[in-house]
Amino acid sequence: MVSPDEFRRVLSHFATGVTIVTTRDTDGRPTGLTVSAFCSVSLDPPQVLVCVDHKSQSYPALRDRDRFAVNFLGERHEDVSRRFATTRLDKFDGVPHKLSSHGVPLLEGALAQLECRTVSRHVEGDHTILVALVDEARNGAGEPLLYFRGKYRRLADTPSGASS
Ligand SMILES: Cc1cc2nc3c(=O)[nH]c(=O)nc-3n(C[C@H](O)[C@H](O)[C@H](O)COP(=O)(O)O)c2cc1C
Q: Is the distance from CB of 90 to CB of 158 less than 8 angstroms?
A: no
Domain assignment present for residue 103? The answer is: yes
Q: Which of 50, 20, 21, 19 is nearest to 146 (CA)?
A: 19
User: Residue 13 domain-assigned?
Assistant: yes
Main-chain phi, psi angles of 15, to 5 degrees: -75, 140
Q: How far is the CA of 53 from the centre of ligand 1 (A)?
A: 8
pLDDT, averaged across the chain: 95
3 state DSSP class of 83: helix
Ligand 1 closest atom vs CA 87: 26
Find the 84 Cα to ligand 1 centroid distance in Å: 7
Question: Higher-confidence residue: 129 or 162?
Answer: 129
Ligand 1 centroid to residue 75 C-alpha, Å: 18
Domains: count for the chain = 1
Which atom of ligand 1 is nearest the CA belonging to 147? 1
Structural domain contains residue 132: yes
Whether 160 is covered by a domain: the verdict is no
Give residue 58 CA to ligand 1 midpoint distance, Å. Answer: 9
* Domain annotation covers residue 133: yes
pTM for the full predicted model:
0.95
String of b and e for 65-96 (b: at least 16 CB within 10 Å)?
Answer: bbbbbbbbbbbebbebbebbeeeeeebbeebe
Q: How many CB atoms lie within 10 A of CB 23?
A: 23
CA dist., res. 20 & res. 85, Å (int): 9
Quick one: which atom of ligand 1 is closest to the CA of 91?
Answer: 26
Pocket test for ligand 1, best of 14, 48, 56, 145 (most atoms within 8 A of CB): 56
**pLDDT, tens only, 51-92:** 999 999 999 999 999 999 999 999 999 999 999 999 998 999
Separation in Å, CA 37 to CA 82, 100, 141: 16, 23, 22
Query: Is 50 inside any structural domain?
Result: yes
**146 lies in some domain:** yes
Please give the order of strands across the beta sheet that includes 112-124. 30-35, 19-24, 67-72, 112-124, 127-139, 47-53, 38-42
- pLDDT class of 161 with cuts at 50, 70, 90: confident
Cβ 33 vs Cβ 69: under 8 Å: no
Q: Is the pLDDT reported for residue 115 higher than 90?
A: yes
From 25, 36, 148, give the residue whose CB has the most ligand 1 atoms within 8 Å, as the site to mutate: 36
In percent, the amount of the chain with pLDDT more than 70 equals 97
Task: Classify residue 76: in a domain, yes or no.
Answer: yes
Within 10 A of 102 (CB to CB), how many other CB atoms are there? 15
Give the CATH number, domain containing residue 70. 2.30.110.10
Q: Whole domain around residue 89: which residue ranges?
A: 4-154
Question: Distance of alpha carbon 45 from its chain centroid, rounded?
Answer: 20
pLDDT number for residue 160: 75
Task: Give the mean model confidence (pLDDT) for residues 120-146.
Answer: 97
| Ligand 1 site, residue 18, Cβ cutoff 6 A | yes
Residue 163 confidence class, pLDDT cut points 50, 70, 90: low
Residue 67 pairs in a beta bridge with 117
